[in-house]
Structures are given as C-alpha cells and as structure tokens.
Amino acid sequence: MTTLLYNKDQLAFNKFVAKSIGLNEAIILHQLYCELEYNKANNINFIENRYWVRKSIKKWHEETFCFWSFDTVKRAFNKLRIIIVC
C-alpha cells in the first residue's frame, strides 16, 4: 500500500499557489519546477544561459497529466502563460 501513496510518479503542489492561481496550474507549476531542477542537476537543456524544459503540451498530457483531458492541460498552460506575462 505504501508504494501507492508515495512513489516517483506522485505530483505535488503548494496550497497557497493553488488558492492563488488554481489547483491545476499549481500542479503544473510544481512539475515544471521539478523538471527544471532535474535538468540543472543533470546539466541538460542549458540554452542561452538558462535551463529549459522542452516538451509539448501533447507530451505533457501523455507522459505526466494523462488523468486530465488534453483540453484541460492546454487551458492550464495557457492560464499560466497569461499569469506569467502579466
């Protein structure tokens, strides 16, 4: 039972961020942070003095957020883009 509750495939979020911008967006933002930290630790996707996550929304949906519809993933990324730009 323990492996069902805690393993490498679990997703996390900050409840203050979720209250501020939405649960789906908070989960995605935390996952982006984790992927960036992984890239830093492994020195991959370092372009123009920054670490990047290179993954399409389709890939995010297929590999990480398969429990949401594609449209939900797309909407959440678009909302994050609007929040970050503003």
Q: Which residues contact 15 (CB under 8 A, 6 or more apart)?
A: 26
- In a domain? residue 67: yes
- In a domain? residue 2: no
- In a domain? residue 71: yes
pLDDT of 12 strictly over 80: yes
pLDDT digits (tens, 9 = 90+) for 17-76: 999 999 999 999 999 999 999 999 999 999 999 999 999 999 999 999 999 999 999 999
Predicted local distance difference test score (pLDDT) of residue 82: 84
- In a domain? residue 21: yes
> In angstroms, rounded to a whole number, what is the distance separating the alpha carbons of residues 46 and 53?
9
Structural domain range at position 76: 13-85
As given in the structure block, the two tokens for residue 46 are 């370092």
> What's the pTM value of the predicted model, to 2 decimals?
0.84
| pLDDT confidence bin for 8, thresholds 50/70/90 | low
pLDDT of 3 strictly over 80: no
- In a domain? residue 51: yes
Please state the domain count of the chain.
1
- In a domain? residue 35: yes
